[in-house]
């Protein structure tokens, strides 16, 4: 049942927008600068995370997996606003994808993350599970975009974000 729900959600997302569901949740903005300048900034900002795949012809960057620890809470009664919560510590790993496109004389920057988590455990049999991003996960995408803007600002290339 859960698989069918995900299938129909993805199908309708593609049907209504023409875009895959993963792209719908990307952090996207437009910068009025040359693509090459933004590309160099994206490379410089992504380099500390480690580069898994860099494709200059397609203007795409994918970082390596970055692991960290995160605390998540879940309500015992999901349909109530108040009530007891269960707090757990998870190991999370993520990688960020950056894609540049030339749109109407400007550079469109699209950043989206792939997120996985598993319960905090030393047991190697516990596998990573792909998760739907939460608000703190989306924050990583936004921070990466602002790091690119900050790099461009330091290089004295003033971006014009509409």
77 located within any domain: yes
Alpha carbons 38 and 33: distance in angstroms, whole number: 7
93 located within any domain: yes
Q: What's the domain count of the chain?
A: 1
- E strand or H helix at 44: helix 35-46
Q: What is the mean pLDDT of residues 138-146?
A: 92
CATH number where 50 lies: 3.30.530.50
Alpha carbons 64 and 133: distance in angstroms, whole number: 18
For residue 42, give the nearest of 23, 63, 27 by alpha carbon.
63
What is the domain extent for residue 54?
Answer: 22-154
pLDDT at 160: 60
Q: For residue range 25-37, what is the model confidence (pLDDT) as tens digits?
A: 567 888 888 899 9
């Amino acid at each position: 049942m859960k698989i069918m729900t995900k299938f129909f959600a993805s199908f309708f997302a593609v049907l209504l927008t023409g875009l895959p569901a993963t792209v719908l949740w990307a952090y996207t903005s437009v910068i009025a600068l040359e693509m090459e300048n933004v590309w160099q900034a994206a490379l410089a900002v992504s380099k500390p995370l480690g580069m898994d795949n860099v494709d200059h012809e397609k203007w795409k960057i994918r970082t390596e997996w970055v692991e960290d620890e995160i605390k998540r809470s879940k309500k015992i009664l999901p349909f109530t606003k108040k009530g007891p919560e269960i707090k757990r510590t998870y190991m999370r790993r993520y990688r960020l994808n950056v894609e540049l496109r030339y749109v109407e004389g400007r550079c469109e920057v699209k950043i989206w993350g792939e997120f996985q988590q598993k319960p905090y455990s030393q047991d190697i049999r516990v596998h990573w599970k792909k998760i739907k991003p939460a608000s703190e996960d989306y924050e990583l995408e936004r921070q990466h975009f602002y790091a690119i803007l900050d790099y461009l600002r330091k290089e004295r290339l003033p971006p014009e974000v509409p």
